[in-house]
Amino acid sequence: MRYLIIYGSLLASLAIITGIGACKKDDSTVSNEPPVVHYIRSTDPGKSDSLLIGSFMGSLIAIVGENLNSTRELWFNDQQAVLNPTYITEKTILVNVPSTVPGTVTDKIRFVTANGSEYFYDFKVNVPAPQINSIKCEFVPDGGTVVLEGDFFFDPKVLFPGDLEGQLTLVEKTKIEVTVPAGAGAGPITVQTNFGKVKSKFYFRDDRNVLLDYDTRMHETWTAPVGNSDPSGCAGNYAFFKSSANGAWQWANELTMQYWAPRGRGNVPVAVGSKDDLVLKFECNVPIEWRDVRMEIFFGPYADDHGRDHPNTAFARWQPWLNGPFKTDGWITVSIPLTEFKYGKDDPADDPNGSKSITNLSALTNVVMMLFGPANGPNPVHIAFDNVRIVPKD
């Protein structure tokens, strides 16, 4: 194995490459001397004075040296580059770094010459570390499927809390489906490739500041009923709204979920911190099309009352059907920034700005979710939800 001679002097070869050679190589005119690389640079005129020790996949680079016209194959790690004889001269090669992720990383360019000899030059192909952008549902039982979206998922390994590896069932550059291993705990998910690893900002099976889980943290049970079979639950019992909803106006016990702190965990604020840094999250499953009637969500002061009529109450309006009927494919995680709690109870339905805001989280202890408002004809609903919590933004 022979390595290329690397010259320290850059001389005048930093100039823009000109005089590119002919289309067809005549081996009789090719030097038998080994290729020599002085340096590699970008072909971007604005960066032509910057020397490269590595580059991203797909980048066009200029290899500058001597005896380069003997090159017949060029490999970056274990991926062969496409060579165009037009762009090969005795002193230069213009070539795109292969866009395929290497299976074996050597951090070298391998030159194969006309006589079959091989020469090597140190050069890194920069493949980005994986990115995790979102998860379809943060609560998935053992044996269920987690769906992650992001980028640069090249031959990934997925680790769940407890350092347990999940079995991959689908891998795409921007999407992973993975089976949850038995015994997975609560915390970030890690995705690791040959090019780096990343931990999710969200928590899998988030156990931080859970206000209601409908197993041990309950609401007023004369409001939304509790179940776990229709649809199947994601984490034990859940509350749900289910109704033929044929009335002209919706405000019914079975279409509200009310938690009153005096009958629950006591005078404890729903969250601590700034509303700008926090989000309300919950898991949701909508097995039939939801077409009409907004869901109002709000927090109230410490009292045996829903607090809807309190003058300072700020509402969030969840209306995922605004752009068409809304239905989920199983459970999803819904995230609503606390800054979206900005409506007064009498603000117009089409008001995008609202007239209220949460001014003092420490004074709010109660939680209410309810379908409220006019119904434009028959609008059956079936909305299941679980794990109501307020946590830091992802």
* 288 secondary structure, DSSP code: S
Nearest 5 degrees, angle CA 13-CA 14-CA 15?
A: 85
Taking only the tens of pLDDT, the chain with its 394 residues reads 444 433 333 333 333 333 333 334 455 566 678 999 999 999 888 776 789 999 999 999 999 999 999 999 999 999 999 999 999 999 999 999 998 888 888 999 999 999 999 999 999 999 999 999 999 999 999 999 999 999 999 999 999 999 999 999 999 999 999 999 999 999 999 999 988 999 999 999 999 999 999 999 999 999 999 999 999 999 999 999 998 876 667 678 899 999 999 999 999 999 999 999 999 999 999 999 999 889 999 999 999 998 898 889 999 999 999 999 999 999 999 999 999 999 999 999 899 999 999 999 999 999 999 998 877 777 889 999 999 999 999 9
| Structure tokens, 392 | 């830091």
| Structure tokens, 139 | 């609560």
| Structure tokens, 39 | 């340096």
Burial class (CB in 10 A: 0-12, 13-18, 19+), 3: exposed
**Residue bearing tokens 């969200």:** 202
Handedness of CA 35, 40, 42, 48 (dihedral sign): negative
What is the DSSP code string of 314-380?
-EEEE-TTTTS-B--SS-EEEEEEGGG--B-TTS-TT-SS-S-----GGG--EEEEEE-EE--S---
β 118-122/190-193 pair status: unpaired
**Residue bearing tokens 């009789």:** 28
Q: How far apart are CA 278 and CA 385, in angstroms?
A: 19
SS3 122: strand
pLDDT of residue 246: 62
The answer to whether 267 and 348 have CB atoms below 8 angstroms apart is: no
Question: 339: how many CB neighbours lie within 10 A of its CB?
Answer: 17
Residues 6+ apart with CB under 8 A from 389: 206, 208, 209, 210, 211, 280, 281, 282
Edge-to-edge strands of the sheet including 92-96?
36-42, 60-66, 92-96
Per residue in 279-297, is it b (16+ CB within 10 Å) or e — as a string? bbbbbbbbbeebbbbbbbb
The answer to whether 341 and 282 have CB atoms below 8 angstroms apart is: no
* 229 secondary structure, DSSP code: B
Q: pTM score > 0.75 for this model?
A: yes
Residues 6+ apart with CB under 8 A from 46: none
Q: Identify the structural domains of the chain with CATH numbers, from first to last.
A: 2-126 (2.60.40.10), 131-199 (2.60.40.10), 210-392 (2.60.120)
Q: How far apart are CA 52 and CA 122, in angstroms?
A: 11
Closest CA to 385 of 337, 338, 334, 340: 334
Closest CA to 178 of 153, 197, 208, 206: 153
* 44 secondary structure, DSSP code: -
pLDDT of residue 134: 98
